[in-house]
Amino acid sequence: MRFVLLIILSLYYSVSFSDEKDTLHSFKLKNGMEVVVIENKRAPVIAQMIWYNFGSGIEKTGKSGLAHFMEHLMFKGTRKFPDNYYSNFISKIGGSENAFTSYDYTAYYQVFPKSELKMMMKMEADRMTNLTLTKENVEIEKRVILEERFQRIESDPSSKLDESMRSILFPNHYYGRPIIGWRHEIEGLSYEDVLSFYKENYKPNNAILVLSGDVDLEKAKKLSKKYFGKIRKGKQESKLEVTDPDLNTNIFVKMQHPTVKQPIWKKFYRTISYKSDIDNSIALDMGFKIVASGTSSLLYQNLVEDKKIFSVVGGYFQGLTKGEGNVYLYAISKEKKDSNEIDKIIMDEFKKIINEKLTSERFEIEKKKYFFDTIYKKDGVLNPAQIYGEALTVGLAFDDINKWQERLNNISLDDVKKALEKLYENKNYVIGELSN
């Protein structure tokens, strides 16, 4: 299993399937489970993904890490399919599997020959409700997760700094606590905590099943009703939605570690998301790619290649979230500079790009790249399942996805500049420095 903070950096992958509308179907079972079928007959292969509409966000105060913990335990077997039966079966048929936990969702997927669809659906439905949990395997897996946290965060100064910056940027929201959990809280999780979390949340009305590939709609309906349809739905609990206050002070976080060879500057913003504002999120994403994404970005060309002030500069926008989105900027200076000086250099250049260097020609080039990326990214068996599953789970609708190209076509250079100007004026940010 792998621990994923960000499964997809932007929803531009989710371009319209308008040229394949006859292949996309969705229906709901009586217990509230949504099923999405994306037919693709190019190869006799199917990807099955089940997206639970909760991640670390539903954890109670003091119980951080439960969603990720549960993801690990979902591979421990049931009475019908004990121990490693599930994973061994997938391996024997030449398939693959994985899982990941986010702030907003938990997802499990398998890719396998179409002839095994019945068995795969049977096993997935079985572990939704019949998982075998023992105190022994809970304690064993806890040690595994604590080691994972040590390897991924505690032994990595950059990750530790990110964790601290997020806790400040999101002081009132679950985005401010680590998905894997705080170490002291993981240590305190009990067998009863895990069992209660599983029984309360792993329910069909909390899930979206996505089947992509060489799958027949009628067969998908029959099998999903047979295996998932008989599972009782859970209670619909109203979740308290919290928001963060504006950060009206300049916040600076510094972390020192002897293993750091080059000081790293970082800046995290809270900003809009696709759920809150699709059109302006597309404009921000497109504009930020021009400004800060990769070696072809204007910040890189101006501050690394031309002025040679930095050895690295870049960033990305993450807007595929249930709550606020965020923007991440980073830089490594060639000469020693304090964080305020680095911030001024980058933001002055940012403003100059908006006013002088973000040309119609560059905008049209980026718009075409955006379009062609969507064509490449929707290819394959697993990608469409990821695109639809993630978008629907964070709260977007089919119409939002299927009209993506139409929305993209309507974005103008002026829209992009306005989105970037709003980010420039955004005061909800934290600056961090990592040094030795």
Residue 211 phi, psi (nearest 5): -115, 125
Regions in the chain scoring below 70 on pLDDT: 1-22, 237-240
71 is catalytic: yes
User: With respect to CATH, is domain 11-227 assigned 3.30.830.10?
Assistant: yes
pLDDT on residue 238: 58
pLDDT on residue 33: 97
Calculate the CA 311 to chain-centre distance.
Answer: 28
> CA-to-CA distance for 276 and 91, rounded, in angstroms?
41
pLDDT in tens, 119-177: 999 999 999 999 999 999 999 999 999 999 999 999 999 999 999 999 999 999 999 99
pLDDT on residue 379: 77
pLDDT on residue 110: 98
Q: What region, left, alpha or beta, does residue 204 occupy, with left being phi > 0 and alpha being psi -120 to 50 degrees?
A: alpha
Decide if 11-227 and 252-435 have a common fold.
yes
- CB under 8 Å, gap of 24 or more: what pairs does 118-122 form? 118/223, 119/89, 120/46, 120/48, 120/90, 121/48, 121/223, 121/224, 121/227, 121/228, 122/227
pLDDT in tens, 86-109: 999 999 999 999 999 999 999 999
- Domain assignments of the chain as residue spans, ordered by start: 11-227, 252-435
pLDDT on residue 235: 83
CATH number of the domain at 252-435, please?
Answer: 3.30.830.10
Q: Which of 34, 59, 71, 124 is catalytic?
A: 71
Please give the span between the terminal C-alpha atoms of the chain, in angstroms, as a whole number: 33
Q: Which helix (H) or strand (E) holds 176?
A: none
What's this model's pTM, rounded to 2 decimal places? 0.91
